[in-house]
Amino acid sequence: MDEPWHIADFRAPPGLGNRHVQTLLPRCLPRPAVRWAGEILALPDGDFVELAWAQPAPSETDAPILVLFHGLEGSIDSPYARELLNAAAGLGWRAVLMHFRGCGEHTNRLPRAYHSGDTADARWLIGQLSQRYPDAMKVAVGVSLGGNMLAKLVAEEGSQGLDLAGAIVISAPLDLAACADTLSQGFARLYERHLLASLKQKMAGRLARGELPLALGPRELASLDSLRGYDDAVTAPLHGFDGAADYYRRASAGPLLTEVTLPMLMLHADDDPFMPPALFARLPRPSPAVRVELAHHGGHVGFVEWRDGRPASWLARRVARQLTAWQAPRTGR
């Protein structure tokens, strides 16, 4: 049986193929200056998320829309966010990023945060966009944690349940338990410590103010030394899971790829330091609606290529090509 994936056309520049170089390089390079306007989107449970709309926005109400979901502790300032919003805007698309709860400028109201399987806010946003722009084609892009969330949402809702023409999933931790274990080993511990420090800093103030119904104090929070430990003590109890193992099992999108009926492009690097080796070989064969493109190199949300005499984002170029391909049947091109 043929492998259920394709070889991506990404090529790392000579000397820049190392997985950690590719992962870290986007943070060191100049990123596009994206003008954006913020919006507070009210949620049905009384909380809110913050949206960032690329500016200037198209004047046509039927202009296609890209909605972007960032990764763990990401934001409008993440290098990939700037690259992808800029690429979509350059094609004449209306482009918006949804900050997960508490990832924007303001602390969210309710005693909860966000997690890899938290699909309700994304579903609500897509529904709101459908009401505002009923004639616009819409494509969702999810990166890392946001990619797992988006894949899970698409699998749950089916092609008729969402007003989307397609979805693009980038460097997603589709097996959350295996990815948590990978991040706790070797050089990847540096990434884990960085993410953990950001998560704990955000939660420390809320815990000290008594805003969170958790059975641990500031000292116990500070002592957590792994993402699995954090998910066991914080993420799981805040969001109704029976520990980290239950959270990872119920929130991982990998086992659901067989159920996807919406056109979906998945981009992944074999050397992603956040993931176990051969991630897709661990998962069920995706449905025919899913196109998986694997690159030998690229790191985690890296994919820095050499273009026009300088380093550039292959991700932005590949996503732009996919947006154009999906838009073409709508415009008759």
The vertex-129 CA angle with 255 and 50, nearest 5°, equals 85
Buried b (16+ CB within 10 A) or exposed e, 54-77: beebbeeeebbbbbbbbbbbbbbe
Q: Which of 97, 75, 73 is nearest to 86 (CA)?
A: 97
For residues 91 and 88, give the distance between their C-alpha atoms in angstroms, rounded to a whole number.
5
Which residue among the candidates 144, 171, 252, 313 is catalytic per the annotation? 144
For residues 103 and 116, give the distance between their C-alpha atoms in angstroms, rounded to a whole number.
14
What does each C-alpha distance from 133 to 63, 154, 163 come to in angstroms? 9, 20, 10
Which residue among the candidates 175, 272, 297, 313 is catalytic per the annotation? 272
Q: Which of 156, 153, 144 is nearest to 118 (CA)?
A: 153
Residue 99 tokens, joined: 């900050």
For residues 200 and 105, give the distance between their C-alpha atoms in angstroms, rounded to a whole number.
17
246 noted as active-site residue: no
Residue type for position 21:
V
226 noted as active-site residue: no
Q: Which residues pair with 95 in a beta bridge?
A: 66
Which residue among the candidates 99, 115, 268, 300 is catalytic per the annotation? 300
Q: Rounded to the nearest 10 degrees, what angle do helices 188-208 and 176-183 cross at?
A: 100
Residue 31 tokens, joined: 């990123």
Residues carrying an active site annotation: 144, 272, 300
